[in-house]
Amino acid sequence: MNIEDPSSFETPFAWIGGEATVRALSDRFYDLMDMEPGFKALRDAHGSTLQDARDKLFWFLCGWLGGPEHYTERFGHPRLRMRHMPFSIGVLERDQWLACMDQAMTELQIDPELRKRLNASFFKTADWMRNRGD
């Protein structure tokens, strides 16, 4: 497989580097959320501990990227919008989530083309998750 040639990978999961990279991405995302003041609104939407959220994001991303369906095996269909309805999600939270994920991908040196594609997909999903008009 050639990292320069995305067509050599069967899935984004393979392209990103498999479970180890997805775990590192999930962990870095929540580390940044927890320590960067620019992600305060996003952090405030979470409970006192982030471990459960870390695991769920890791499990979800594995399957979403075309790898093992850890999330679905544990919880069934993700039903993202329904599961996020209890949280107030507006433009600020959406934008902080996207910025936090982009920073995590950048720090982990995710292939720039894959990062670009993931950011486009993440935006569509994050925007769809908004449940507060602002």
- Domains in the chain: boundaries: 14-129
pLDDT at 47: 83
76-81: long-range contacts, CB 8 A cutoff, minimum separation 24: 80/125, 80/128, 80/129, 81/128, 81/129, 81/131
Which CATH code fits 14-129? 1.10.490.10
C-alpha distances out from residue 83 to 18, 88, 111, Å = 26, 12, 30
pLDDT at 5: 57
Cα dihedral sign for 55, 108, 115, 85? positive
Total-model pTM: 0.90
Distance CA 71, CA 22 (A): 13
Per-residue pLDDT tens digits of the chain, which is 134 residues long: 334 556 668 999 999 999 999 999 999 999 999 999 999 999 998 888 899 999 999 999 999 999 999 999 999 898 988 888 888 899 999 999 999 999 999 999 999 999 999 999 999 999 999 998 77
